[in-house]
A and B are shown apart, each in its own frame.
Chain A
Amino acid sequence: MKLKQIQQVFLMLGFSLLLASCGSESKKEDDLQKASWEEIEEKADGTTVNFMMWQGSPVINNYINNYVIPTVKENYNINLEISGGQGPEIVQLVMGEKEAGVTRSQVDMVWINGETFFQLRKIKGLYGPFVKQLPNAEYIDFSDPYINTDFQQPVNYMEAPWSIGQFAMVANSAKIQEPPSNLEELEAYVKEYPGTFTISNDFTGMTLLKSFLAEIGGGPNSLDGEFKEEKYLELSSQLWEYLNRNKQYFWKEGETFPKEQSKMSQLFANGELAIACGFSEGGIEEKVKSGLYPKSTIAYAWDNGTIKNANYLGILDNASNKAGAMQVINFLISPEAQYLKANADGMDANTVLEISRLPEKWKQKFENAQEREYGLKMKDLEAYAIAEPAPEYMIRLYEDFRTKVIEQ
């Protein structure tokens, strides 16, 4: 009888191995690149699409769960499933699947920006070019450098823009009358109000450091072009010197830095910090309205400019449902979906569509849309826009900010 149990165990093992091998059996991908949109729509009908995205914001989750998911189900009979993950997690997933030889990924489409785009291209993890095939792509102006170039890399229709925004500084005007807007003023500021400024050790913080680096480089365009080691070393050594000279006046005397943006937001909300920064023109509208930030919060421009960039939707190279992903992405860049996404009371994300190209009905809707009550508009910051420098700058800043500032 015991022998039977052992046999059963082996039987189960063998069975699960069999199942696993069935799952990894490669299936010839139909050539979607040549297919017409009708054929793609037909293929997408009744399928399930898995979308890996950052789920860290309630307004974004609300938009996805209560609008996008039911609408794609109703319009296209697609089950959209969301899984959480961003940047490095997406890259890790793709790397892991590549290492394991998985040909049908558990994830079809991803929400990424230039950093991840660069890494995914490096490991050949993205499918495309596919954007031109999307009918709604006609409303996007691909001659806009902030859309056709992602971290100095040509996008080449390998990813579809989803929203666009600019980095901005945030200050509590009740505490500071004239917030600093260049490095010199910042130095004077931290000495006057010690402990109220810091840099988060994450994507947001590194974006601020890129603005600082460009300022040290002598102007908004000083980091344009390919990554140059010499230029980086020269400028960054000045930046680290500046930060180390002043970090004793930062939050916690510069002994440590907040791990991420959400922590910065908490510190700003509870009054420990009087200056913060963020994407989406500072991203303060929702935070002020929900009562997290005080009503005296303002967003403002940095003299030498701040990074302006778009974020994108991509399809994985080994996605099992590419047609479905294309259908969902086409919906996400439709006037309807983009209009709701731009709502100042909702996700509050600038549209990537060129308003002048839209049908009359949508043109009017966008033009008469409700404006932000507290935040700046992207237009207000237009004169202060800097293009994202090459991705190597980000990678190096991450590494060096840790070894040359945090660990000092």
Chain B
Amino acid sequence: MNSKTSNIGILFFILIGVIPFAAAFIYALLYSFGILGVFNDGFTLKFWESVFSSGEFLSSFGYSALIALVSTVLSVSGALWITLKFKESLDKRFLSFVMYLPLAIPGVVAGFFTFQLLSRGGFFARLSYQLGLISEARQFPDLVNDTYAIGIILAFITMVMPFFVLLFLNVYKNERLEDLGVLAQSLGAKKNQVTTKVFLPILLKKTSILIVLYFIFLLGAYEIPLILGQESPQMLSVLIIREIKQFDLSQISEGYVVAVIYTIVVSISAILLFLPKKGIAHET
């Protein structure tokens, strides 16, 4: 391979990928220590202290991680089920179009749709009212802006599950799982043994890195929790933006503290994910 071409590639990667990211990170870091900012007068640890002492960050982090985990697990399980159950019919053009469609929907739209369908003044609430299932808006179950983040999780699943279905279908074909299944069966495996011992391990192993990346992606999602979330605890990105845009200008640095911690956590997980198992990363 031409080494000059790859040099240019690296140059562009640094120019477009690394420098802006590093600059933003350094900016946030300096802001969090009070070195930057019209309202700050020099190095201080007080913003870091107040973020850790308030407990809001930790509850927000835990809340976000839980939502991302539940959404990822449900999406992956659902996608596995759909893939294995309907693999033949998914080959058809129309169905694959239906699966592709949600991938093209931006987060804002998904959040808005979910709100319109599930809120107490939304489509299903109105339908239940017309059908006489409820007599007041208040009786409809609380599905958006709710404590258990049901709306957020449903919206995440709608967006993420189709992606995994397509991914699993691809792996299924590329790894020739059909043939492996036939082979296992001819060697005496039962049908559910083929699924649990052959299909699932291969599908999950081949896609494990993408599953973790999706978890990280959901951890930092913004629009959907903004529209469908509650006021406290909030998901991480919503919390960060709220802190950075707050009225009390002297507290803006706290938002940067949270942003810095979040970036570090995500970067470390990404490095752990990719470094030791370089081989696997390349395989997928």
Contact = CB atoms under 8 A, between A and B. Distances in A.
B36 A99 contact: yes
A122 interface: yes
B41 to A, nearest CB: 13
A359 B138 CA distance: 54
Interface of B: 2, 4-5, 7-8, 11, 15, 36-39, 54, 56, 120-121, 136-138, 142, 145-147, 230-233, 244-249, 251
Contacts of B15: 9
A-side binding surface: helix, strand, loop or mixed?
A: helix
A123 B136 CA distance: 50
Contact of B249 (A119, A270, A272): A119
A123 B38 contact: yes
A88 B241 CA distance: 12
A252 interface: yes
Given A87-B247, A395-B248, A266 B232 contact: no
B121 A6 contact: no
23 contacts: A2-B4, A2-B8, A3-B4, A6-B11, A88-B246, A92-B244, A92-B245, A95-B37, A115-B247, A119-B249, A123-B39, A201-B231, A255-B147, A255-B230, A257-B231, A259-B231, A270-B120, A271-B121, A394-B247, A398-B246, A398-B247, A398-B248, A403-B54
B4 A98 contact: no
Contacts of A407: 56, 232-233
A149 B153 CA distance: 48
B231 A406 contact: yes
Contacts of A376: none
A260 to B, nearest CB: 11
A395 B249 CA distance: 9
Contacts of A367: none
B138 A272 contact: yes
A256 interface: yes
Interface of A: 2-3, 5-6, 9, 87-89, 91-92, 95, 98-99, 115, 119, 122-123, 195, 201, 252, 255-259, 266-267, 269-272, 394-395, 398-399, 402-403, 406-407
B145 A395 contact: no
Contacts of A252: 142, 145-146
Given A6-B11, A95-B38, A271 B137 contact: yes
Contacts of B11: 6, 9
A95 B146 CA distance: 35
Nearest to B55: A407
Contacts, number: 82
Contacts of A256: 145-147, 230-232
A259 to B, nearest CB: 7
A98 B145 CA distance: 37
A99 B8 contact: no
Contacts of A267: 121
Given A267-B121, A398-B247, 5 more contacts: A89-B245, A255-B147, A256-B232, A399-B248, A403-B54
Contacts of B245: 88-89, 92
Nearest to A96: B38
B42 to A, nearest CB: 15
B120 to A, nearest CB: 6
A18 to B, nearest CB: 17
B225 to A, nearest CB: 11
A5 B4 CA distance: 10
Contacts of A122: 249
Nearest to A98: B38
Given A88-B246, A89-B245, A395-B247, A272 B145 contact: no
B131 to A, nearest CB: 17
Contacts of A5: 8
Contacts of A115: 247
Contacts of A2: 2, 4-5, 7-8
Contacts of A257: 231
Contacts of A395: 247-248
A194 to B, nearest CB: 8
B37 A99 contact: yes
Nearest to A258: B145
A351 B121 CA distance: 36
B249 A91 contact: yes
B227 to A, nearest CB: 9
B8 A270 contact: no
B123 to A, nearest CB: 12
Contacts of A123: 38-39, 249
A198 B247 CA distance: 22
Contacts of B56: 407
By Cβ-Cβ distance, the 8 closest A-B pairs, closest first, are: A270-B121, A256-B230, A2-B4, A407-B232, A406-B232, A88-B245, A395-B248, A256-B231
A64 to B, nearest CB: 24
